[in-house]
Amino acid sequence: MARIHVLPSDLINQIAAGEVVERPASVVKELIENSIDAGATTIDVLLENGGRKRIEVRDDGSGMSRDDALLAVERHATSKIRQFDDLSHVRTLGFRGEALPSIASVSRFLLTSYDGAEEHGVEIECDALTGRREVRPAARDRGTTVVVRELFENVPARRKFLRSADSEFRSVVTVVSSYALPLHRRSFRLEHNGRAVLDLPAAATLRDRVIQVLGDEAAGYLEEIDERYDTAHAAGFVTRGLRFASRRNQYFFVNDRLVRDRVLTHAANRAAESFDFDGHPAIVLFLHIDTEGVDVNVHPAKTEVRFRDSSTVHVVVEHGIRRALGGAEEGGTLLREGPSLSGGQAILPAQIAQAGSPVLHRTATEFTPLFQQRAVVQPPHAMGAATLPEPMVDESPQLGDLQGRVIGQYRMSYILIDTPGGLRMVDQHVAHERVLYDRYFARAAEREPVTQHLLTPMLYETGAAESAVLESHLQELHAVGFLMERFSGNSFAISAVPPELLKSDAETFLRMLVDASIEERSPHLLRVREKVCASLACQAAIKVHRALSGEEMARLVAELLDSSNPYACPHGRPIIVDIKHIDIERHFHRK
């Protein structure tokens, strides 16, 4: 059996770094917390290659003297607590004294600080590969700058688990915007590869800061949360009438500390699920509770907490959000004028034969009345440029397992087809979705977009994290027919859209794309293209509860047969359901 021995300090630091520093966003989080605790009013974050190559955080806080700066890079050295009882009354974001030495142990680390009291500032450089540490005088204004280069350079096993640069960058955007939420009187700025991507100046009110982060579209839907119960006070905002496909816009703070907590998320979900609406509201919740009622020393990264009385916390959060949503009145706000989330008008299948599509030269597919025995889905007949069409020949089409004839539409949502084996039902929305997906994917792969220019460009306002996603997808959006570019801040100017997409549906599509991509880890171009094409096809496809003519149904079924996969939409939902003829006869006691 191996003998027990004390680990060397550099290995101890790397083990601690594994708990505190998971990715570039973790580094930014720890450094921003230090800046906030130092009283900084302006915090700048600069990234290169998503933070994999370089992270720099600058602030105008109190700064450090030479002696304090030297202690700051030692483990368990902190100014936040002095004795055990202080853990019960922690008000600062940091207190463990592990962040800076942990970061320095897995990167090329440079700290520059000046407290305004000494003759000059101090600069400390640490190299994790060589273990070298240099201390020298430096000149800077009052405050602190930390530069982290080549994160995990000396730990290749950790470095290979980092996500793509785009994914890491999006995570940093989320961290910066999250910490800016409770501190509306402070300004935050984020640059990536030399370009400013997030600029949050000091806001007059907390509501203004929430709008800065969530985007202007949330301004008209924000309702205030204000609930007290016992010693707990829940405050903040929730979007009443505006829902999102994921919970990405839900932020929870305990005594102004950003946390992930099951009690809070469960209470919020219970409150939102009381209303029968799809999606999730945006929630910015600030829970203020006595420091002795919450334990913040649960997780090394300080992202989790433990409540002494979780039932009280659950009650005040659930009731506060439910009251802000307004009970049964929530549905009334959905009737206000604004962009249609259900798609409004639908694109007729007869209108979707566009340039570059595989159905450009088809004539209208024939429709067979209910009692006609000939198959309805006929092969297309080519039409000459200057000649009359040739007489139609009545021959059996090669339709494989999908042969049959259209006999009608069920509840204006499903196309009914009489097949040799029984009754076939085709979901018109997902069928059209599959057809459009193949069309968009072919356009993107061939770099032959088809666009419809708008008379006047439209502006799309979004939040900070969402704008980062759209920025990374601009190339593929151009490939499928969008002409859009960043206008200012987090807004984009759209001058053209794909012809199948209504202008009023463009915002809904972009929101769906962000929801589908916000947590995407893969940087692969093909994966990005698939997400763009799938989201666009879903939004542009004809909707359920829309009556189709016989010709439209026949054309849609014919185009479905030519698709790459007639049985499932790009999201995996089934397109076709078969009811066997023998089962129908058994229901009528004929078998």
Domain boundary among 150, 184, 202: 202
Position 381 pLDDT exceeds 50: no
Most confident range (mean pLDDT) of 159-168, 366-375, 547-556 is: 547-556
Could you tell me which residues come within 8 angstroms of residue 99 by beta carbon, excluding any fewer than 6 positions away? 20, 30, 31, 33, 34
Residue % of the chain over a pLDDT of 70? 79
What is the sign, positive or negative, of the torsion defined by CA atoms of 176, 177, 181, 187? positive
pLDDT score at 376: 38
pLDDT score at 375: 38
Is 0.75 topped by the overall pTM? no
Position 428 pLDDT exceeds 70: yes
Domain at 234, CATH number: 3.30.230.10
Domain boundary among 154, 183, 202: 202
Instruction: Give domain status of residue 384, yes or no.
Output: no
DSSP 194: T
Instruction: Give domain status of residue 101, yes or no.
Output: yes
Domain boundary among 165, 183, 202: 202
Instruction: Give domain status of residue 372, yes or no.
Output: yes
H or E element in which residue 269 lies: helix 262-273
Q: Which two tokens stand for residue 424?
A: 């076939």
By DSSP bridging, strand 306-307 and strand 422-427 are unpaired
Q: How confident is the model over 506-519, as a mean pLDDT?
A: 76
How far is the C-alpha of 481 from the C-alpha of 462, rounded, in Å?
20
Q: Which two tokens stand for residue 103?
A: 């970061």
Q: Identify whether residues 217 and 233 lie together within a single domain.
A: yes
Instruction: Give domain status of residue 4, yes or no.
Output: no
Q: Tokens 């008379």 map to which residue?
A: 455
Q: Identify whether residues 176 and 87 lie together within a single domain.
A: yes
pLDDT tens track for 406-422: 999 999 999 999 988 88
- Report whether 37 contacts 93 (CB < 8 A): yes
How far is the C-alpha of 325 from the C-alpha of 161, rounded, in Å?
41
224 vs 278: which has the higher pLDDT: 224
Q: Tokens 């580094």 map to which residue?
A: 27
Position 384 pLDDT exceeds 60: no
Q: Which domain holds residue 18?
A: 9-202
Report the SS3 class of residue 248: coil
Most confident range (mean pLDDT) of 193-197, 371-375, 527-531 is: 193-197
Q: How many structural domains does the chain have? A: 3
Residue % of the chain over a pLDDT of 90? 31
- Report whether 151 contacts 107 (CB < 8 A): yes
First-last CA distance in the chain: 75
Which residue intervals of 410-522 are DSSP H helices?
A: 428-446, 464-479, 506-517
Q: How confident is the model over 428-435, as a mean pLDDT?
A: 93
Q: Identify whether residues 552 and 453 lie together within a single domain.
A: yes
pLDDT score at 114: 94
pLDDT score at 467: 80
pLDDT score at 87: 58
Instruction: Give domain status of residue 389, yes or no.
Output: no
Position 501 pLDDT exceeds 90: no
How far is the C-alpha of 549 from the C-alpha of 541, rounded, in Å?
16
Residue 96 binned pLDDT confidence (cut-offs 50, 70, 90): low
Degrees, nearest 5: CA angle 547-437-354: 70
Backbone angles phi, psi at 246, to 5 degrees: -130, 180
Q: Identify whether residues 195 and 226 lie together within a single domain.
A: no
pLDDT score at 128: 79
Instruction: Give domain status of residue 360, yes or no.
Output: yes
Query: Average pLDDT of the chain?
Result: 79
pLDDT score at 283: 94
How many CB atoms sit inside 10 A of residue 369's CB?
11
Could you tell me which residues come within 8 angstroms of residue 401 by beta carbon, excluding any fewer than 6 positions away? none
Backbone dihedral region for residue 477 (phi beyond 0: left; psi -120 to 50: alpha; all else: beta)? alpha
Domain at 552, CATH number: 3.30.1540.20
Q: Tokens 């025995």 map to which residue?
A: 373
Position 445 pLDDT exceeds 90: no
Instruction: Give domain status of residue 385, yes or no.
Output: no
Q: Identify whether residues 304 and 452 lie together within a single domain.
A: no
> Beta partners for 124?
111, 135
How many CB atoms sit inside 10 A of residue 222's CB?
20
pLDDT tens track for 524-576: 556 667 878 888 888 888 988 999 998 899 899 989 988 988 888 888 889 99
Report the SS3 class of residue 461: strand
Q: How far is CA 184 from CA 78, 210, 211, 213, 388, in A?
A: 27, 9, 11, 11, 71
How many CB atoms sit inside 10 A of residue 361's CB?
11
Q: How confident is the model over 191-200, as a mean pLDDT?
A: 88
Q: Identify whether residues 448 and 568 lie together within a single domain.
A: yes
- Report whether 477 contacts 484 (CB < 8 A): yes
Of 543, 195, 193, 524, the closest CA to residue 340 belongs to 543
Position 141 pLDDT exceeds 50: yes
Position 380 pLDDT exceeds 70: no
pLDDT score at 415: 94
Q: Identify whether residues 56 and 131 lie together within a single domain.
A: yes
How many CB atoms sit inside 10 A of residue 422's CB?
16
- Report whether 540 contacts 503 (CB < 8 A): no
How far is the C-alpha of 454 from the C-alpha of 457, rounded, in Å?
6
Q: How confident is the model over 158-172, as a mean pLDDT?
A: 84
What is the sign, positive or negative, of the torsion defined by CA atoms of 261, 267, 271, 272? positive
- Report whether 542 contacts 346 (CB < 8 A): yes
How far is the C-alpha of 190 from the C-alpha of 524, rounded, in Å?
25
How many CB atoms sit inside 10 A of residue 98's CB?
23
pLDDT score at 524: 55
pLDDT tens track for 267-297: 999 888 877 677 889 999 999 998 888 887 6
Q: Which two tokens stand for residue 239?
A: 């979007």
Q: How confident is the model over 356-367, as a mean pLDDT?
A: 37
Q: Identify whether residues 466 and 563 lie together within a single domain.
A: yes
| Entry field: residues in the chain | 591
Q: How confident is the model over 225-230, as a mean pLDDT?
A: 89
Single-letter amino acid code for the residue at 503: K
Could you tell me which residues come within 8 angstroms of residue 445 by beta carbon, excluding any fewer than 6 positions away? 529
How many CB atoms sit inside 10 A of residue 296's CB?
23
Q: Identify whether residues 571 and 515 lie together within a single domain.
A: yes
DSSP 221: G
Of 524, 556, 554, 531, the closest CA to residue 542 belongs to 556
Q: Which two tokens stand for residue 568?
A: 């499932």
Domain at 164, CATH number: 3.30.565.10
Most confident range (mean pLDDT) of 65-79, 123-137, 520-534 is: 123-137
Position 85 pLDDT exceeds 70: no
Q: How far is CA 373 from CA 367, 370, 418, 420, 585, in A?
A: 12, 8, 10, 11, 20
> Beta partners for 147?
56, 110
pLDDT tens track for 302-343: 678 888 888 889 999 999 999 998 853 333 333 333 343 333
pLDDT score at 397: 36
pLDDT score at 25: 92
Instruction: Provide the strand spans (E) within 187-271.
Output: 187-192, 195-200, 222-229, 232-244, 250-254, 257-258
Q: Which two tokens stand for residue 294?
A: 């919450």
- Report whether 440 contacts 480 (CB < 8 A): yes
Q: Identify whether residues 366 and 415 lie together within a single domain.
A: yes
349 vs 166: which has the higher pLDDT: 166
Q: Tokens 């006595």 map to which residue?
A: 290
Q: Identify whether residues 259 and 179 lie together within a single domain.
A: no
How far is the C-alpha of 278 from the C-alpha of 270, rounded, in Å?
14
Q: Identify whether residues 153 and 225 lie together within a single domain.
A: no
Spell 260-288 as b/e; 16+ CB within 10 A means b: ebebbeebbbebbeebeeeebbbbbbbbe
Instruction: Give domain status of residue 391, yes or no.
Output: no
Q: How confident is the model over 45-74, as a mean pLDDT?
A: 92
Position 9 pLDDT exceeds 80: no
pLDDT score at 518: 65
How many CB atoms sit inside 10 A of residue 498's CB?
24
